[in-house]
Amino acid sequence: MIGLTLKQLQYFDALARHKHFGRAAEACAISQPALSVQIKELEGIAGAPLVERATRQIRLTALGQAFLDRARTVLLNVGELEELMRASKGPLAGRLRLGIIPTVAPYLLPGIMTALTDRFPDLDLEVRETVTQSLINELSAAHLDLAVVALPMSEPSLQEFALFDENFVLVRPCKDQNKPVPAPQSLAMMELLLLEEGHCFRDQALSFCALNGSPAKRIMEGSSLTTLVQMVSAGMGVTLIPEMAVPIETRSADVAIARFPAPAPSRTIGMVWRKTNPLYEQLMEVGAIVRGAARR
């Protein structure tokens, strides 16, 4: 494997993730022809094609998949070496890649960024907002350093750090504000507005409403909590949102907020990172800072 470079492994990993030369090149901040040349050179070293080239997207060959698995192990180990060297230098500095779920990001992220940059002025914070499974995949592949998600994750390879608990509230049209708060079983019979598939908050809401099978009423979906609340304002149904979202999401919507009696539906928000990450002590400090920012 003489001539194999770390950059080639990174480019191949990006191509495998994006399945498209153009998108992979953009993610790597290089031109598409330059990426193509690097992949061709890598295939020359391997002695066989690593990808099947198609018009819309690429596919890995059997050799390409086997090569990718080993390449990612190498990249993970190199990343941990870099983190080990950073850990020896004391306070966090340089790049820190933070993932965060969409039902937390708009409400907590500004405070997180302010608190972290105040504590670590030399920190270069990169933020990635996406759904939980994507964050876990990117953490496992060392494309992220830590993530803010709903706990528990039940991933043996990840360290969990609880930040806070929060209740869910019911959002309904203003005309219903004086009505009794419906029981979970009654919610299951209403026009329930939920986030689209892939959001963990959707699953938590369905669990509370005991909708494990097919609901009696049609469930309508939205791409964000903002969309759901505006749909309620338009009289299209009811929805659940986390407590932290209430001040922002309801200020421009004609809706009423109702809080459930105990035991109210709730979630635990926390941070996760790889247990093998050498920045363990620094990430514990980051967790404590984020917890303080969330309380404020």
pLDDT, averaged per 10 consecutive residues of the chain (296 residues), comes to 80 90 89 91 89 84 89 82 65 85 94 92 91 91 91 91 94 91 82 86 84 58 91 92 94 91 91 88 90 85
- Output the pLDDT for position 214: 47
- Domain count of the chain? 3
Task: Examine residue 155 and state whether it is found in any structural domain, yes or no.
Answer: no
Choose one of 85, 106, 130: the last residue of a domain.
Answer: 85
Residues 6+ apart with CB under 8 A from 20: 56, 57, 58
Task: Examine residue 102 and state whether it is found in any structural domain, yes or no.
Answer: yes
Task: Examine residue 171 and state whether it is found in any structural domain, yes or no.
Answer: yes
Closest by CA to 137, choosing from 126, 125, 149, is 149
Domain range for 234 is: 165-267
pTM: 0.73
- Output the pLDDT for position 159: 93
Choose one of 61, 85, 109: the last residue of a domain.
Answer: 85
Contact indicator for 80, 278 with CB cutoff of 8 Å: yes
Same domain, 281 and 137: yes
Task: Examine residue 129 and state whether it is found in any structural domain, yes or no.
Answer: yes
- SS3 of 62, please? helix
Task: Examine residue 154 and state whether it is found in any structural domain, yes or no.
Answer: no
Contact indicator for 123, 96 with CB cutoff of 8 Å: yes
- Output the pLDDT for position 211: 64
Same domain, 58 and 104: no
